Amino acid sequence: MWVNMQRYLLLCVGVMLTGIGLAYCVDPDLLLSRYDIGIAGVSDDNMYRGAYGGLFLTLGAAIAYGFFSVSFRQTSTLIGLLFMGGFAAGRTASILALGMPHEQIVGLLIFEVVLSTVFGWLLIADAEPLRL
């Protein structure tokens, strides 16, 4: 039962992140304008396409790959945990340093905390028992 939940979660999250990465690669303003963020110039555009676009695209694909590959499933789950947990940690640090961001960004933080928690739980639920 948990394996199917894990597989479909990996597929859904992976496809979603890959789609976000493609959107950033094609037109970063499309997503950034939702949060009242703009691109100041060519270097800014390059950073968003490279960092957000490239990272979301490749890590999303690595997460989705766990749906298809039994041998990569735990690795995909760990990548999901680290990716979502990293975003949640960074957003939390920003809130502590500068205060609350746009309300949709707070929603993203909640989503990332929930997903990283579920990914962590799936890793623990499927872990091999320690043998001493």
pLDDT above 80 for 53: yes
Asked if 32 and 45 touch (Cβ cutoff 8 Å), the reply is no
Query: If you write DSSP's letter for every residue of 91-102 in order, what string do you get?
Result: HHHHHHHH----
Asked if 16 and 60 touch (Cβ cutoff 8 Å), the reply is yes
How do residues 86-96 score in pLDDT, each as one tens digit? 999 999 999 99
**pLDDT band of 128, cuts 50, 70, 90:** low
Could you tell me which of 78, 82, 60, 65 has the C-alpha nearest to residue 126?
78
- Residue 62 CA to residue 86 CA, distance in Å, equals 16
pLDDT above 70 for 63: yes
Of 44-53, 57-66, 108-117, minimum mean pLDDT range:
44-53
Which pLDDT belongs to residue 123?
93
Of the two residues 33 and 73, the one the predictor is more confident about is 73
